[in-house]
A and B are shown apart, each in its own frame.
Chain A
């Protein structure tokens, strides 16, 4: 079965750090762009970051640039999001998603909740 499973969310104080993981199964994630998308409680979807495989092209939303780092371990078929200097406004469900060009996000994880609060 093709699936993505996120982990690593939780409660953290402002200024703290978390690392999210996204384990892929049923397909080789290195063959695809992999993305992180977040959704604040009761709000819409917001793109966060993406990484391509063989040329390691990376980009970030302006709101997280310099604080978040996306990476991947192709041997483990796993995507990561290192989040530093977390802010209250980073509170959201974080989804990893496979982008199958030119079709869109065809596979999504179940999401992991990140809460930034003192």
Chain B
């Protein structure tokens, strides 16, 4: 099973700043099948990025994903108030699909 480790656990930033979230895999993620999700309290997760770098439908271009192999990054170029949430990475190149433990992006 591929273990995904996200860092930092909590990221405190202000609106307008740039956020960089990391996801490291214990093994190579096949075909860069790595997705990012955003989850707000009391809501279901929302798909942001698939295949490491492809934005999902309707996702603003301030969200971008990069990486390959075992190291992946989600970048939010300029934080908006609605971006403060928990972010999860997930690999789906190998079964079982696994999630990282999450990064809590909070307002500073």
A50 to B, closest residue via Cβ = B97
Docked-complex contact A104 and B95, CB < 8 angstroms: no
Chain A residues with CB under 8 Å of B99's CB are 44-47
Chain A residues with CB under 8 Å of B79's CB are none
Chain B residues with CB under 8 Å of A1's CB are none
A17 interfacial contact with B, CB 8 Å:
no
Chain B residues with CB under 8 Å of A106's CB are 47, 56-57
Q: Classify chain A's interface size.
A: 20 to 34
Docked-complex contact A102 and B96, CB < 8 angstroms: no
Docked-complex contact B96 and A103, CB < 8 angstroms: no
Interface segment out of the listed A7-15, A69-77, A84-92, A107-115: A107-115
B90 interfacial contact with A, CB 8 Å:
yes
User: Contacts A59-B95, A105-B37 given; 19 further ones with Cβ under 8 A?
Assistant: A35-B97, A44-B88, A44-B99, A45-B39, A45-B45, A45-B90, A47-B98, A59-B96, A61-B96, A62-B96, A102-B33, A102-B50, A102-B92, A103-B50, A103-B51, A104-B47, A104-B56, A105-B90, A110-B44
A80 interfacial contact with B, CB 8 Å:
no
Interface size of B in residues (CB-CB distance below 8 Å): 25
B53: min CB distance to chain A, Å:
12
Docked-complex contact A103 and B98, CB < 8 angstroms: no
A68 interfacial contact with B, CB 8 Å:
no
Docked-complex contact B56 and A108, CB < 8 angstroms: no
Indicate with 1 or 0, residue by residue over B49-86, a CB within 8 angstroms of chain A CB atoms.
Answer: 01100101100000000000000000000000000000
The interface centre, meaning the residue of A103, A104, A106 with most chain B CB atoms within 10 A of its CB, is A104
Q: Which residues 90-105 of B sit at the A interface, judged by CB distance below 8 A?
A: 90, 92, 95-102
Docked-complex contact A104 and B90, CB < 8 angstroms: yes
B23 interfacial contact with A, CB 8 Å:
no
B25 interfacial contact with A, CB 8 Å:
no
